[in-house]
Every structure is written in C-alpha cells, then in structure tokens.
Amino acid sequence: MNKNSRPTLSQVASLAGVSTSSASLILNNREGVSFTAETIERVHTAAAQLGYMVKSSRSSRGDMLLDEHTIVVLAPTPISPYYATLVQSIDQSARSCGFETMVYYTYRDPQRENHLVILLRKAPVAGVIFTMAPQAAEPVEELNRTVPVVVIGDRDRTLDVDTVETRNFVAGVMIARYLLQLGHTHIAYISTTLNSVNTARTQRLEGLQQTFREECPEGTILVRSRDITPVEELNTTLVEHQVGFQLCQECLKESNLTAFVAVNDMVAYGVMDCLLSNNHRIPEDYSVCAFDNNFPSRMTAVSLTTVDSHIEDKGHNAFDILHTKICQSPGDAPAYITRIEYPHQLIVRGSTAAPRIG
C-alpha cells in the first residue's frame, strides 16, 4: 500500500477475512449485531495494523450518503400504500439493528432499474432489498455476488436470489371460489399493464380463469386492462385509481356483470368511486374485491373485501434474511438460497354480497 494513501475499510475486511459490512459493523460498535470474540479481535487487529481510523461521526449530509450502514430499497412507486408499508417495515427492522435505509423508485422502468443495479455494484452499501420482482434476473443475480440482495415478489424458482414470496395464482383461486360461492358467475377483472413482466397481475388473473374453467365453465370473466408507461407512473400520482375508474366505466355497458375483481386495492378504490358516482350501490348492485389489504381498505367507509398478503411481515422478514447475510464472513456464506413463502388470507368485508336479482 502506498505510504501516502489512506487505508480503506475493504482492506481491513480483506486482511481480517470478513465482509466489508461486517468490518464496518464491528468497528462502529453497532448495536443488535453479534460476532464471535475472535472475529471482533481479528477486525480490530487488522485495523490497527493498517492504521485505519474509524470516523467519529458521519458527514453533515448524514443519511443521504450510501455507505456500509445503508440498506438500499428499490420500489416501483411511493404512492401505493402497499409499497409504503413494505418500505416502512423494512426501515423499522433496519433501524433496530443500526442501519439506515435509502429508497429508490423505479416507476417500473426497466432502464432505470438496470441503471440503479449497475450503480449499486460500485456502492459501499450493506445490502439491497427489491420490494418487487426485478424485470431482469441476470443483473440482480450478478449484483448479489458482491452485495447481499433479497427480493420480495411472486413465487419464482428461476431467480437465484434469496426471496420472500407469495403465490398470486393461489390468491386468484381464492377470490374466484369466494365469488362463485356467493353466486357470481359473470365478473370483470380490472388491471393496470398485463404482461410477462408484471407476474403478480397475470398470476392473479390466471388463478381466476382456471377456477372458473374448472368449477363454473358457463361463467365469464371480462378482462379489461390499460398499459401504464413509466413516464405516466412517475407523473400521475393517482394513476391506479384512474385506471380503476375508467375501466369500470367501460364495463358498466355490460348488463350481466355482478362483480368486479381489481388487480389491487388502489385500482379497486377507483372501481368503487366509479360505481358510486353512477348511483350504484356496493354490494347490493355490484360486489368489489381486490388484493393486498392496504390500510385504507380497513376503514369503515371503504370496507373492501381483499386478499391479505402480510405486507409488514414480508418487510420484516426480508430484512432479517438480508441481515443474516450481512453478518456472515465471506467464507461462511451458505451454498443455498433462502425462500420464504407467505400464505394468503381472504378478508371479507362489506364490499361483497350475493349478486342482485334481475
């Protein structure tokens, strides 16, 4: 090492045989993190040998810096209560272990997502959590080789990264069977962009369709969707509500429909507003249900029947998996992928009932 150059944290970590994040946690005496006495001594010895000095405080920019105490969270949008709840639950767990979080929004733009992944390969962050399935698996798997990564998303056995999963196909089956039990045989599925990238949306629809084919072949599912561009996602804060409202308006031309299934709660709020603005009653004239169980859905005035996917638990669990990876020495990294799957739960509220007669 050049005598005039300052030793780096990565050099300390390399000499001690631990990860850069572990060296940082030990040298900064972070609470909630446990290492063996031998590992702690090894890191401090390496720091002393190299002349590495721990900064007494962070810069005036504080949490705006990406460093070894930062967990980067990638989310599609800040406006959705689903992603806002996920981010907050991750932040709660991260702070309890001495980490800060930095959130970046992709607005479902594959180019922006890829750009962020490339930047994170060079950033000295502790770890990365995707709150949605990445649009391209290979760059994320490559990032995971140098930075711990956890993904929260639909069940995907092709993604070679630790994941916290739900099976949206099963959620679709659950909604379909519930509506059929009530007597609804002609329903509409309302969604934002439906394509192979947005697997949660397509899996929910496939669960609905397969159940109807098997259990009610005479029934029908009217599918209506509208593509949302990343630019529109960025510039229109209520885009999901607007999609629900507009597509519901189109569906009201169909006289045999008795129920609406929205791709998520945000779209469902648009559907409900459309029905009410057209002087229809919920659930006497139309039933409405969705997926996610966002906090507004629990309000008495909304009372939306929806499928709960344990949002907060998924956020906490994603950080717990990431934290375990951060605290491991490079040589101790497991040769397996952790996959945690959360079951769905149907929450029946006041927006659904038996179909109207006539």
pLDDT at residue 56 in the model: 47
Query: Looking at the domain assignment, is residue 352 inside a domain?
Result: no
Residues 269 and 319 in one domain: no
Is pLDDT above 60 for 300?
yes
**End residue of a domain, out of 289, 309, 329:** 309
Residues 118 and 93 in one domain: yes
Residues 107 and 190 in one domain: no
For the chain, strand residue ranges (E) read: 70-75, 100-105, 127-130, 149-154, 162-166, 186-192, 220-226, 259-262, 287-292, 305-308, 339-341, 345-347
Query: Looking at the domain assignment, is residue 113 inside a domain?
Result: yes
Range with the poorest average pLDDT among 181-185, 234-238, 261-265, 312-316: 234-238
- Angstrom distance (rounded) from CA 19 to CA 307: 40
Averaged pLDDT for residues 214-240: 95
Query: Looking at the domain assignment, is residue 119 inside a domain?
Result: yes
Is pLDDT above 90 for 40?
no
Residues 112 and 70 in one domain: yes
Q: How many domains does the chain have?
A: 3
HSE-CB at 38 with a 13 A cutoff on CA atoms is: 2
For 56-119, strand residue ranges (E) read: 70-75, 100-105
Identify the band that residue 251 occupies on the pLDDT scale cut at 50, 70 and 90: very high
Q: Give the chain's mean pLDDT.
A: 89
Is pLDDT above 60 for 333?
no
Is pLDDT above 60 for 283?
yes
Is pLDDT above 90 for 310?
yes
**99: domain range?**
65-166+311-341
Query: Looking at the domain assignment, is residue 1 inside a domain?
Result: no
Residues 45 and 173 in one domain: no
Averaged pLDDT for residues 216-229: 97
Taking only the tens place, the pLDDT of each residue in 114-141 is 999 999 988 889 999 999 999 888 999 9
Taking only the tens place, the pLDDT of each residue in 48-104 is 888 887 654 444 333 345 777 899 999 999 999 999 999 999 999 999 988 999 999
Residues 206 and 273 in one domain: yes
Identify the band that residue 194 occupies on the pLDDT scale cut at 50, 70 and 90: very high
